[in-house]
Each structure stands twice: as structure tokens, then as C-alpha cells.
């Protein structure tokens, strides 16, 4: 039933949120817009969060410093970008041969993920919330076929920090190239390969026209989670109602972003193949070499980075347990369905 309205007072708030992504990556960038719209709707427009594309307020990779300095109130980013600052950031996004998207969400919401990351992030004045996941990404675009680990030796690839370090152990050479220059570098042969995201985003950039071999899976990101960062003082100043609204608005954006990828990738993949992309699975020998290199990198990190080591123990146990169950009901169901004429 409905009782008479009572008087309530809530703050009027304006925040600025810096995305690490350009508007052209509409699926990822859109998660921050969904979040902002959610908060505004739930508060009758009293809590406004303006969303700014990468570079508008701060550079894509400057959002952690900007949050820490209080220059911005919030950010939406892929935490593994800050692997160079501290490798442990990557647990909030993806590590090579790590969790898939359902596992990452389960670890964050119902495992120890959120607790461990909140402790880690305190030194950066960041309060984090999961906000989107791409699902398993593709293994990228190559000018020539990859038939064995020998084909990785000397391969110049545009790939992010963590995947790049593992690739380096395999004899590959990782390159940092801004998004807008990748196509030309591939065309000229300055690089041999690039990774990006998956069919929906990749199609827009047209890499298939200059590097047609499209391998899967992206073993360095089996379920890349995006994260909402909030400056801890701004978070602390919110009323309990606004804190609840922000948390739930982020959860909704978390669902929506993955749903968008899952709804849009299938047709994009069809179109890429129609336009000449040569789809193939990485040979097992290449996957095995990468997995071995990953284990070496993790051993080094456990020996050198206490923040990494503290989180890795819990993460690795959750991962191992989860992959005892994932192939049973879900895995066998998907495998059967993938083979049917639907």
C-alpha cells in the first residue's frame, strides 16, 4: 500500500568520470554512460555524473593518478593498464590464463576478490566496483599463419603489458602503439600482429584487410573485467542511499556491457569471415608454450611483488576449484549445443 509522501533531503552532487576509452568503442565506453544514466534516474537528476572520453580530462592511462590526486571523482578503466605501476592491478581485470567472465564475477561478488582488491586499492585512494566484462577475447590478427611456437619467435605484436611480458618469454616482441596507428603499422609490416578485443570492436578497425589470420582464444584475457574507480573521499562523502544507488547502478552496467558484446559479436564475426578473415584456433603447442611462460612469470611475481602474492593465492585457488566444475554442466551443454543445427 501507499502512505502519504514524507519529506526527504538528499544532496545535489556533480561528479566527473574519466573513461579510459574513446567513444568509438561504444560497447565499453557505453558502460560508463549506462552507469551515469542509472544514477541520474534513481536520484531524480540530483546526482549527475558527466562522462568524459579518454584524453578529454586526463589521458587514458592517467586515471589512477588523477583519482589519487582528487583531480577527477571517478573513472572507468581496464585495470591491467596499470600493470606497470603494480602487477596486482590486473586481478581486477584479467591475467593470462586466468578466470573467465563468470568466474571473475563470482570471485568479485561472492569470493574474496572485492575484499582483497579494496585493501590493495586503498594505497591509490580508489574504491572499486566491477563494471563490465568483454568475455573471452580473440587472440588477434596476424599477417602470417601461426603454426608452432617457432612462429612466435621474433614476432612483433601490438599487445598490452601483461600479455606482452608472457609473449616476451616466448621470444615475441611486444609493441606499444596507439589505437589509431595500428592499422597503418600492420599494413606497412612495422608490426606482424595486433590484438584488440573481439569481432564487434575489431570489425570497425578493419585489421582483417591487412592481417587476415584471426586466432583464438586470447589466452591473456579469458574474461576482461572493466572497473569503476571512485575517489575514496568522494565515496565517503555520499549518503548511505547514494552509496547503495551507485553500487547497484554499477551492477546494472556490469550486466548490460557483457550483454551488448554477447548480442553483437555473433553477427560481426559472420561479417568478418564474409570479408576474408581466416578464423583459426591457436595450435595446442602454442597454447602450451604460452601457459608454460605464464607460469614462469607468475613464479617471478610471487617472489618479487608482495601485493601480487597476497591476492594470487586466493585467486589461484578459486580458479582451480572453478575449472573443476565449469566443464561439467555448462561446458558439456555448450559443447553439445555448438555441434547442433539450431
Cell of 248: 547497484
Q: Does 241 bind a copy of itself (CB under 8 A)?
A: yes
Q: Does 121 bind a copy of itself (CB under 8 A)?
A: no
- Find out whether 10 and 241 touch, Cβ atoms under 8 Å: yes
In this structure, is the dihedral angle defined by the CA atoms of residues 57, 63, 65 and 70, taken in order, positive or negative?
positive
- Find out whether 47 and 245 touch, Cβ atoms under 8 Å: yes
**Angle, vertex CA 135, rays to CA 131 and CA 137, nearest 5:** 125
Q: Does 17 bind a copy of itself (CB under 8 A)?
A: no
Specify the residue, 110 or 119, whose C-beta has the smaller distance to a copy of itself. Answer: 110
| Alpha-carbon span 213 to 143, nearest angstrom | 6
Q: Does 36 bind a copy of itself (CB under 8 A)?
A: no
Minimum CB separation of residue 189 from a copy of itself in Å reads 26
Q: Which of residues 62-81 bind a copy of itself (CB under 8 A)?
A: none
Of the ranges 64-72, 225-233, 298-306, 334-342, which one interacts with a copy of itself (CB under 8 A)? 334-342
Minimum CB separation of residue 181 from a copy of itself in Å reads 25
Q: Which of residues 131-170 bind a copy of itself (CB under 8 A)?
A: 135-138
| Alpha-carbon span 130 to 111, nearest angstrom | 13
Member of 68, 86, 251, 305 binding a copy of itself (CB under 8 A) = 251
Q: Does 320 bind a copy of itself (CB under 8 A)?
A: yes
Specify the residue, 184 or 332, whose C-beta has the smaller distance to a copy of itself. Answer: 332
Q: Does 260 bind a copy of itself (CB under 8 A)?
A: yes
Cell of 131: 563494471
Minimum CB separation of residue 296 from a copy of itself in Å reads 15
- Find out whether 137 and 119 touch, Cβ atoms under 8 Å: no
Query: Measured between alpha carbons, how far is residue 255 from residues 8, 71, 103, 136, 223 in Å?
Result: 31, 29, 14, 15, 13
Specify the residue, 186 or 245, whose C-beta has the smaller distance to a copy of itself. Answer: 245
| Alpha-carbon span 91 to 99, nearest angstrom | 9
What is the chain's Cα-based Rg? 21
Specify the residue, 11 or 304, whose C-beta has the smaller distance to a copy of itself. Answer: 11
Length of the chain: 342
Q: Which of residues 213-232 bind a copy of itself (CB under 8 A)?
A: 216-219, 222
| Alpha-carbon span 215 to 223, nearest angstrom | 16
Q: Does 245 bind a copy of itself (CB under 8 A)?
A: yes
Member of 258, 272, 301, 312 binding a copy of itself (CB under 8 A) = 258
Specify the residue, 60 or 205, whose C-beta has the smaller distance to a copy of itself. Answer: 205
Minimum CB separation of residue 135 from a copy of itself in Å reads 6
| Alpha-carbon span 225 to 232, nearest angstrom | 21
Member of 20, 38, 194, 231 binding a copy of itself (CB under 8 A) = 38
Cell of 217: 582464444
Specify the residue, 209 or 264, whose C-beta has the smaller distance to a copy of itself. Answer: 264
Q: Does 274 bind a copy of itself (CB under 8 A)?
A: no
Q: Which of residues 296-315 bind a copy of itself (CB under 8 A)?
A: none
Give which of 147, 49, 165 is closest to 96, Cα–Cα: 165
Member of 263, 275, 276, 313 binding a copy of itself (CB under 8 A) = 263
Amino acid at each position: 500500500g501507499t502512505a502519504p509522501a514524507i519529506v526527504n533531503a538528499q544532496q545535489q552532487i556533480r561528479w566527473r568520470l574519466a573513461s579510459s576509452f574513446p567513444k568509438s568503442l561504444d560497447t565499453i565506453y557505453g558502460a560508463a554512460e549506462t552507469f551515469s544514466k542509472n544514477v541520474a534516474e534513481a536520484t531524480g537528476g540530483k546526482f549527475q555524473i558527466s562522462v568524459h572520453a579518454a584524453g578529454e580530462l586526463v589521458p587514458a592511462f592517467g586515471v589512477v593518478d588523477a583519482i589519487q590526486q582528487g583531480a577527477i571523482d571517478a573513472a572507468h578503466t581496464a585495470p591491467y593498464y596499470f600493470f606497470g605501476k603494480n602487477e596486482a592491478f590486473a586481478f581486477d581485470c584479467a591475467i593470462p590464463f586466468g578466470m573467465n567472465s563468470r568466474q571473475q564475477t563470482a570471485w568479485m561478488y561472492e569470493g574474496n576478490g572485492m575484499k582483497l582488491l579494496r585493501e590493495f586499492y586503498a594505497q591509490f585512494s580508489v574504491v572499486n566496483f566491477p563494471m563490465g566484462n568483454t568475455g573471452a577475447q580473440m587472440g588477434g590478427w596476424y599477417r602470417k599463419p601461426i603454426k608452432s611456437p617457432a612462429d612466435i619467435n621474433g614476432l612483433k605484436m601490438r599487445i598490452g603489458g601483461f600479455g606482452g611480458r608472457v609473449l616476451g618469454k616466448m621470444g615475441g616482441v611486444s609493441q606499444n602503439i596507439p589505437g589509431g596507428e595500428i592499422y597503418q603499422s600492420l599494413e606497412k609490416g612495422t608490426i606482424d600482429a595486433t590484438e584488440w578485443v573481439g569481432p564487434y570492436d575489431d570489425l570497425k578497425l578493419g585489421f582483417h584487410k591487412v592481417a587476415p589470420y584471426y586466432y583464438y582464444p586470447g589466452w591473456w584475457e579469458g574474461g576482461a573485467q572493466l572497473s569503476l574507480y571512485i575517489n575514496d573521499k568522494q565515496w565517503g562523502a555520499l549518503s548511505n542511499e547514494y552509496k547503495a544507488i551507485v553500487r547497484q547502478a554499477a551492477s546494472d552496467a556490469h550486466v548490460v556491457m557483457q550483454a551488448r558484446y554477447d548480442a553483437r559479436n555473433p553477427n560481426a564475426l559472420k561479417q568478418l569471415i564474409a570479408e576474408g578473415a581466416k578464423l583459426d584456433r591457436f595450435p595446442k603447442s602454442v597454447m602450451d608454450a604460452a601457459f608454460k611462460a605464464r607460469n614462469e612469470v607468475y613464479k617471478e611475481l610471487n617472489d618479487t611483488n608482495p601485493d601480487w602474492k597476497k591476492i594470487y593465492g586466493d585467486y589461484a585457488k578459486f580458479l582451480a576449484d572453478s575449472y573443476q566444475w565449469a566443464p561439467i554442466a555448462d561446458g558439456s551443454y555448450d559443447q553439445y549445443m555448438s555441434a547442433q543445427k539450431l
